[in-house]
Amino acid sequence: MTWARLGKIALGVVGLAIGVVGVLALREATLSTHDEVAARETRLVLSGETKGAEEHQTLSEMVEAQVLTCRLEVESDLAGPIDRLGDGRYRAVLVPALDDSNRRQFRGCLEDWVIDGVQLDVERLDQVR
């Protein structure tokens, strides 16, 4: 074997090693991990508004639909009905409490345009012991 050929093989091995390390680092950075939570429940307060929604759909119906849809992405359930606070604001309780990873996922889902015509803004997402 020539030195040139050995150099190409060594360069290939180094490139492969860098690629493997990069993929493992990306996996670690994007992997959802779940931790035990000392709190017993998570309380949600959000506000909502409609833009271009169907005439027969109320804001309350759309908020409930989006909260229930997003609840499917986390490991908690609603502990009761979603309470209407007035002025487009709502409150709900989820049990068991959401860990940090689930809280980020739930908030992101709620604030995305999951259901056409409704935009939600999470005002509070607190842990309660």
Q: pLDDT value at position 16?
A: 85
Residue 114 has pLDDT above 90, yes or no: no
With vertex at residue 76, the alpha carbon angle to CA 73 and CA 81, rounded to the nearest 5 degrees, is 105
> What's the mean per-residue pLDDT of the chain?
88
Scanning the chain, the segments in alpha helix (DSSP H) are: 3-30, 59-71, 100-111
**What is the C-alpha to C-alpha distance for residues 74 and 89, in angstroms, rounded to an integer?**
22
> pLDDT tens, 24-49?
777 666 656 666 777 899 999 999 99
**What is the C-alpha to C-alpha distance for residues 119 and 1, in angstroms, rounded to an integer?**
66
Fold of 41-128: Alpha-Beta Plaits (3.30.70)
| SS3 state of residue 112 | coil
CB atoms under 10 Å from CB of 63, counted, come to: 25
Q: pLDDT value at position 31?
A: 57
